[in-house]
Structure 1
Amino acid sequence: MKNFKNIILPEQTSIIETMKIIDDSAMQFAAIVNDKKQLVGTVTDGDVRRGILKGISLDEPISVIMNKQPTFFMETETSTSYKKFMQFHKLNQLPVVNKNHEIIDIIFSGYFNDENIKKNKVVLMVGGLGTRLRPLTEHVPKPMLKVGNKPILETIIEGFHNHGFINFVLCVNYKKEVIQNYFKNGEAFGVNIEYIEEKQPMGTAGALSLLQEEVTEPIFVMNGDLLTQVNFSQLLKFHVKTNSVGTMCVREYEYQIPFGVIETNEHQLVSILEKPVKKEYVNAGIYVLSPEALRMIPSYEYYDMPELFNKIISTEQTASVFPIREYWMDIGRMLDFEKANKEYDSLFKKEELV
Structure 2
Amino acid sequence: MRVDEVLIDRQDSIRSALQAIELAGSSRAFIVDAAGRLLGAVSESDIRRALLDGAGLESSSYPLMQDAGVSTKPGTGRAEVLDLMHALGVRELPAVDADGRIVQVHTERAVAGIRRRYNSAVIMAGGRGTRLAPLTDDVPKPMLPVAGRPILERLVLHLVGWGISRIFISVNYLGELIEQHFGDGSAFGCRIDYLREERTVPLGTGGSLRLLEQYGEITEPLLVMNGDLLTDFSVGGLLDAHSSEDVVATVATTQYRHQVPFGVLEQANGRLARILEKPAPSWPVNAGIYVLDPDLISKIPDDRLFPITELLDQCLKQGWPVGLWPIREQWQDIGRPLELAQARGEG
> 1:83-122 maps to which residues of 2 (within 5 A)?
116-122=115-121
**Paired residue secondary structure (1:271):** strand
Instruction: State the alpha-carbon separation in 1 of the partners of residues 207 and 269 from structure 2.
Output: 47
Per the alignment, residue 156 of structure 1 pairs with 155
Per the alignment, residue 318 of structure 2 pairs with 315
Per the alignment, residue 231 of structure 1 pairs with 234
Instruction: State the alpha-carbon separation in 2 of the partners of residues 263 and 305 from structure 1.
Output: 38
Percent of counterpart pairs with the same letter? 43
CA deviation after TM superposition for structure 1 residue 334, in Å: 2.0
Residues 76-120 of structure 1, C-alpha deviations (whole Å, 9 max, x = no match): xxxxxxxxxxxxxxxxxxxxxxxxxxxxxxxxxxxxxx7833221
CA deviation after TM superposition for structure 1 residue 259, in Å: 2.9
Contact 1:142 1:225 in 2 (8 A): yes
Instruction: State the alpha-carbon separation in 2 of the partners of residues 290 and 258 from structure 1.
Output: 43
Q: TM-score scaled to structure 2, two decimals?
A: 0.64
The count of residues paired between Structure 1 and Structure 2 equals 235
Instruction: State the alpha-carbon separation in 2 of the partners of residues 320 and 134 from structure 1.
Output: 35
Residues 117-146 of structure 1, C-alpha deviations (whole Å, 9 max, x = no match): 322111000011111212111100011111
Give unmatched runs, 5+ long, in structure 1.
Answer: 3-20, 25-113, 344-354
CA deviation after TM superposition for structure 1 residue 262, in Å: 2.8
Instruction: State the alpha-carbon separation in 2 of the partners of residues 219 and 315 from structure 1.
Output: 20
**1:341 counterpart letter in structure 2:** R
> 1:1-354 maps to which residues of 2 (within 5 A)?
116-199=115-198, 200-211=201-212, 212=214, 213-342=216-345
**2:143 counterpart letter in structure 1:** M
Residues 299-354 of structure 1, C-alpha deviations (whole Å, 9 max, x = no match): 222221222112212222221111011011111122222222239xxxxxxxxxxx
**Paired residue secondary structure (1:277):** coil
Instruction: State the alpha-carbon separation in 2 of the partners of residues 187 and 145 from structure 1.
Output: 22
**Paired residue secondary structure (1:270):** strand
**Paired residue secondary structure (2:247):** coil
Contact 1:123 1:169 in 2 (8 A): yes
CA deviation after TM superposition for structure 1 residue 222, in Å: 0.5
**Paired residue secondary structure (1:336):** helix
Contact 1:246 1:290 in 2 (8 A): yes
Rg bigger for which structure? 2
Q: Which moved more, 1:290-299 or 1:238-247?
A: 290-299
**Paired residue secondary structure (1:302):** coil
Instruction: State the alpha-carbon separation in 1 of the partners of residues 251 and 220 from structure 2.
Output: 17
Residues 139-174 of structure 1, C-alpha deviations (whole Å, 9 max, x = no match): 000111111211111110000000110111111011
Q: Which moved more, 1:275-284 or 1:311-320?
A: 311-320
Give unmatched runs, 5+ long, in structure 2.
Answer: 3-74, 79-112
Contact 1:121 1:167 in 2 (8 A): yes
**2:206 counterpart letter in structure 1:** A
**Paired residue secondary structure (1:236):** helix
Contact 1:210 1:300 in 2 (8 A): no
**Paired residue secondary structure (2:345):** helix
Residues 253-279 of structure 1, C-alpha deviations (whole Å, 9 max, x = no match): 110123332323343333332322111
**2:310 counterpart letter in structure 1:** E
**1:221 counterpart letter in structure 2:** V
**2:293 counterpart letter in structure 1:** S
**Paired residue secondary structure (1:337):** helix
Instruction: State the alpha-carbon separation in 1 of the partners of residues 236 and 133 from structure 2.
Output: 35
Q: TM-score scaled to structure 1, two decimals?
A: 0.62
Residues 35-57 of structure 1, C-alpha deviations (whole Å, 9 max, x = no match): xxxxxxxxxxxxxxxxxxxxxxx
> Against the structure 1 CA distance between its residues 139 and 115, is the aligned structure 2 distance closer, same or farther, given a 3 Å change threshold?
closer
**Paired residue secondary structure (1:233):** helix
Instruction: State the alpha-carbon separation in 2 of the partners of residues 229 and 130 from structure 1.
Output: 22
Instruction: State the alpha-carbon separation in 1 of the partners of residues 244 and 114 from structure 2.
Output: 20
**Paired residue secondary structure (2:242):** helix
**Paired residue secondary structure (1:119):** coil
Let me know the Cα RMSD of the aligned residues.
Answer: 2.2
Instruction: State the alpha-carbon separation in 1 of the partners of residues 262 and 299 from structure 2.
Output: 43
